[in-house]
Chain A
Amino acid sequence: MKVQQLTKQYDGKAVVDGVTFEIPKGKVLSLIGPNGAGKSTVMGMISRLIARDAGLVDFDGRDIAKWKSKELSKRLAILTQSNQIQMKLTVRELVAFGRFPYSAGRNTPEDETIIDQAISYMELEPFQDRFIDELSGGQRQRAMIAMVIAQDTEYILLDEPTNNLDIYHATNMMKIVRRLCDELGKTVILVLHEINYAAFYSDYICAFRDGKIAKFGTVKEVMTREVLSQIYQVDFEIMEIEGKPLSIYY
């Protein structure tokens, strides 16, 4: 999956300006940057949720806009922050919607097996008949991930998955992301605010500033004092913990 010269303007102001990068397959890629740097917009354009003004998103050799939405939904899944579900659905009913691109609502026994697996992978069996609005934030987030697992796509895009979660649940979320990549072989792309989560749990980082890519590279390449202080305009110290560069900012 390649992104070339991606541009998006709102009211004549470019929020994303000539962004070009390639998404490494089977890895975890985190998009970081200050507020308004354009990372969520980039993710929206990659996932066809937001229309682009210029540039190209090449998915499997074909422009993403030329894909049939239904075909694409078997290959690429996205969870956004707007997925605040207020509906009284059970966890299982929600996860079952992940099979919609395949079965259009008439689930076969195979679909049911996949749903079962997704639920047990996210350790949601005890809650599967519980209504979503009765669950805690962390459980709800896991239910959403289970749905994406049931959707069975190669690419999983998550827009700020740790948002509104406490440290315990946020860390668990990141561990799940790692498992999606390591155990299930998914390519995961995340928008993250917490850079240390990005540093500890991803393989690559793409850092944005003012709608442009400030730095794209492996975690070690991006997590340096110079790069981070230039992006965020605050002082950084980098420390190595468990072989991973983590940052302290103040």
Chain B
Amino acid sequence: MLIDKRRSRAQKEESTIKRYLTTILLSLFLLILSVWSLFIGVIDLELSTLLNGNLEQLKIFLVSRLPRLLAILCTGVGMSVAGLIMQQLCRNKFVSPTTGATISSAQFGILLALLFMPNSTLWGRALFAFAAAILGTWIFVWFIQRIRFKDVIMVPLVGIMFGNVIGGITNYLAYQYEMTQALSTWLVGHFSLVVRGRFELVYLIVPLVILAFLFANHFNIVGMGKDFSKNLGVPYNLVLFAGLSIAAMITASVVVIVGSISYIGLIVPNLVAMFKGDRIRGTLVDTALFGAIFVLACDMLARVVIAPYELPIELIVGILGSILFVGLLLYRLRRGNKAIRLGSAHSGGCAAAVSQVEGGDGA
């Protein structure tokens, strides 16, 4: 008995270390990557001259490089967390800001702001984007709850269609009022315009992500269905729409500052869930870190490929993302809904077989 207890305690300690191991590794990797990224760019920055107080270099560092890094980190964290929330709440692994019409709604909001308040500030535009993104996401979720598709693939398809309809209207209006030029900034995401004074809005993501972390358990419970949440006394509709609003606001903040960045909200949460499961409290930090790493790596690539020029990050993310997305799609389709099982439960197949046998005489 005593030995048993001791062993279980040792196991517990081991599993605690194991649980945080990925988080620690991801943080370290992100830190290294972040520092490295600060020294990539058209003008060569040297650590030694920077420390010696070279004003010119310090200025570049503070006005351009650092803001850019912070914006990238916020974008990566925000988009992947928004995707995680949306997937949980909609009970569908393929829903994300891209496939849930959130991004296109936010863009529509920006266009409306440009049309009706030509002199609007960044905050004014953000307000329009928030409202439109929240509304668009609500309509989409209301719609998919109404229809109840049998096939999980139908939901993102409908979302993409819905997003394209909104995008079509946006484009039409932009043509009508000769706004295409102005709008293009928000259609393709890029970080090259992020400098001090133009990006601070993206910090809004920080409190929103913290809020998401605090309500992680609520989101999990709502993700298990209406009856399940009611049984535990969780107000289903309130949490559902509050959660969607948080995800939409995060997305809108990103769209206003850097433009549309697709796929991150789709791929990052799925990849992390493969290893860490679906409990949001357990995956949120890793999802956020991995999202930041993904965006940062893509941005560094975008800066290096055709240096001294740079590609819009949307291009790199789009290429990498669509390849990963197709892979994910095929993997899910081939292995059914409970497919994703790597890492933690390595011996998935035979574990299930063993459990069947154990269940046989253990019950």
A residues adjacent to B (C-beta < 8 A): 47-49, 68-74, 77-80, 82-83, 85-90, 93, 97-98, 100-101, 104-105, 123, 126-127, 129-131, 133-136, 138-139, 142, 151, 168-169, 172
Contacts and interface: CB of A to CB of B under 8 A. Distances in A.
B359 A139 contact: yes
Nearest to B340: A88
B233 to A, nearest CB: 3
Chain B interface mostly helix, strand, loop or mixed? Answer: helix
How big is chain B's contact interface, by range? 35 or more
B228 interface: yes
Contact of A131 (B218, B228, B235, B341): B341
A88 B278 contact: yes
What 9 pairs between A and B have smallest CB-CB spacing?
A73-B233, A105-B217, A70-B233, A133-B338, A88-B278, A88-B277, A87-B278, A69-B233, A80-B227
Contacts, number: 111
B2 interface: no
A80 B356 CA distance: 24
B52 interface: no
Contacts of B340: 88
A139 B217 CA distance: 23
A218 B337 CA distance: 44
Nearest to B217: A105
B48 interface: no
9 contacts: A49-B231, A72-B233, A83-B224, A87-B223, A87-B224, A100-B221, A127-B355, A134-B338, A139-B363
Given A88-B278, A105-B281, A127-B355, 6 more contacts: A47-B231, A69-B234, A90-B277, A101-B232, A130-B355, A151-B231
B230 A130 contact: no
A47 B287 CA distance: 37
A93 B279 contact: yes
B235 A78 contact: no
Counting chain B CB atoms within 10 Å of each CB, the highest count among A88, A104, A172 belongs to A88
B225 interface: yes
Contact of A83 (B225, B277, B345, B359): B225
Given A78-B227, A131-B345, A136 B356 contact: yes
